[in-house]
Structure 1
Amino acid sequence: MTNIKVQAPVPVDLEGDLASLPGFGARMAPHWAAPARTASLPVSPALIHGVTVPPASARLLDSMSDYGD
């Protein structure tokens, strides 16, 4: 049988302020490993098909600015 070691949880201050969040993040960061970064390859426009946009949505998007207002 495997003996699983469990660490005692760090007490959480539910009434804490935003200044305490970086400390929480720094304590939790070692627990998660970031996945290896993979480069995305561009997709040929010829391979993109089957996407339909309703005319009302197309007009709405066309009237929006590129970066919001």
Structure 2
Amino acid sequence: MTNLKVHGSAPLDLEGDLASLRGDCARMAAHWSAPATVTSLPVSPSRIHGVTVPPTSARLLDAMSDYGD
């Protein structure tokens, strides 16, 4: 479901072109900030327990030739 609420006076253009999309992104850029630096700490191997895949996803991947054959 798409939230079509618009905050501000910008017209809602669902069939916009690239210029319209770039303008939307430029207006939203001020609302999204990234941290100056991202520090990743090493993880102890004892904390890594593997990957759990639900049975339905495993069957889906098994049916795909890139993964299952």
Question: TM-score range, shorter-chain basis?
Answer: 0.3 to 0.5
Q: Which has the higher helix share?
A: 2
- TM-score of the two chains, using structure 2 as the length reference: 0.45
Higher RCO (CA-CA < 8 Å; seq separation 6+): 2
- TM-score of the two chains, using structure 1 as the length reference: 0.45
